Amino acid sequence: MKSKIFFSILIFGLLGCEDFLDNTPETTITPQGFFQNQNQFNEAVTAIYNTNRGLMNGAHWRFGENRSDNSSFQYNPNDRGGIPNEEVDNFLLLSSNTNIGNYWNSAYSGISRANFALANIDRITFTDTDEPEIRRGEILFLRSWFYFNLVQLYGDVPLVLTAGNTPDEILSDEFLKRTPIAEVYAKILDDMDTAIAVLPTKEATASGRATRGAALMLKAKMHMVLQEFGTARDLLEQMQGYSLQAEYANIFDPENKNNNELVFEIQYSFELGQGSDLLTRFVPFNSNLDILGENGPASSRGGQNQPTQNLIDLYDPTDARFLHNISFYDDGVTNEPWMSKFNFGFEDLGNNAQDVNFPMFRYADALLMLAECYHEAGGGDPIPLLEQVRGRSLENGTLSAAEQANLEQTIADERRRELAFENHRWFDLLRTGEAVATMTAHGVAQKAQKSTVPAEAYTNIRTLLGIPLGQVEEFGFTQNEGW
């Protein structure tokens, strides 16, 4: 029974995309039978991108931002259905929490789709002889991205690299055994070398697809997690052809999609029926029609990803990043901060259907990463890079003498200001070893500021999530310590 259930999950992961529903009905549709021509194969690759888009729009920001000191939530005493989400912020998670399971399932759905595509790529005849290797690079980039986040969030995870065509294969150690983190990194680093070698530049790539620059940046992020800053530096120095936008808000403007600062961007399109809900989740629940206009009223479960006072205080009030990223809603009783980074006025687009893309990798992040690598491993001066990024948003971007004397903290603070609400903060805290200390202090501040924070919140700060309870019970995975 276990093999049948797990096998069906893998199959569903590939066939769950609505793109596949346009095929001629058959009694049984299998991945092996689907891959017949180039168009079908490209649909399968698109399905992997779709999985990533769903992950970025949902579970990823809860763990990248809400689990950090960047954001919290607006407590609504009249709607308590969002408690599983609040538990992410308060560090009150159980392994049965739906957010833990949703992230795992989404990531492995993407991995399954990638594995089936890789298993069938050599069966397809392509009109362009370069295309199969480019598609292979895209698939390896996306599969490596899923694994990179899985190991940071869960630790040892099953390293599944084959499609799993039979129940016997599904019951093998590859599917049912947690692989040590070091082995996962060894594999995805090797896969990124392949991707870097075959992926084209941004100029030669359709919008939204993985490029050589994106692969260089992802591999550099992996080496930075492994504290291999010299190797990461060398990769980042190979990124060519990118530049900062003159104005901070222009990076995210739907009229300026896929601009030259964006190394890899999650694509959303209202016109194609693939809009996002990045605005409607985050407006204060008590704002009614005041922000959303005719697309309101605001949801009773709004006010998520709410900026913390600690983040607000980190900004200079004249900083263009502060003025764009954070707004305030005053209902006469409270003045609620809310995350307005993706608010470009969508009165005519309909609720939950924004046209704004989401920046997964951008050049400002690459410059800040390179500054950190120079600080840790030498080979360049980090200060001009920091001042280049800061100078776009402040009239005077020069680092003070105190900031230059404490570059480690300066870099961390600049990353918070620049990349707020782009899902980097929790992973930065993990990488720098500051997660427990930072979140303990954050918990003290939250309890002092909010009477609604439970007494037990922030008392058990674990850097790894639990393996989803359903996976442990069904397939016998060992659980992480303390879960």
Task: For 465-480, write each residue's pLDDT tens digit.
Answer: 999 999 999 999 999 9
Q: Are 412 and 432 in contact (CB under 8 A)?
A: yes
SS3 of 11-42: HHHHHCCHHHHHCCCCCCCCHHHHCCCHHHHH
What tokens does 355 get? 């046209």
Q: Indicate the pLDDT class of residue 179, thresholds 50, 70 and 90.
A: very high
pLDDT one-digit tens code per residue, 415-427: 999 999 999 999 9
Q: At what angle do helices 229-236 and 212-225 cross, to 10 degrees?
A: 170
pLDDT one-digit tens code per residue, 39-70: 999 999 999 999 999 898 888 999 999 999 99
User: Is the per-residue pLDDT at 9 higher than 70?
Assistant: no
Q: Are 61 and 282 in contact (CB under 8 A)?
A: no
Q: Are 110 and 160 in contact (CB under 8 A)?
A: no
Pairwise CA distance, residues 175 & 473, whole Å: 15
User: What pLDDT is attached to residue 163?
Assistant: 87
Question: What single DSSP character describes residue 186?
Answer: H
Mean pLDDT in the chain? 90
Which residues, in sequence order, are bridge partners of residue 335?
A: 330
User: Is the per-residue pLDDT at 248 higher than 80?
Assistant: yes
User: Is the per-residue pLDDT at 19 higher than 50?
Assistant: no
> Is residue 265 classed as helix, strand or coil in its secondary structure?
strand
> Is residue 439 classed as helix, strand or coil in its secondary structure?
helix
User: Is the per-residue pLDDT at 245 higher than 60?
Assistant: yes
pLDDT one-digit tens code per residue, 320-339: 999 999 999 999 999 999 99
Mean pLDDT for 208-224 is 97
Pairwise CA distance, residues 391 & 376, whole Å: 23
Mean pLDDT for 435-461 is 97
Q: Are 61 and 305 in contact (CB under 8 A)?
A: yes
Mean pLDDT for 354-378 is 96
> Is residue 72 classed as helix, strand or coil in its secondary structure?
strand
User: Is the per-residue pLDDT at 117 higher than 60?
Assistant: yes
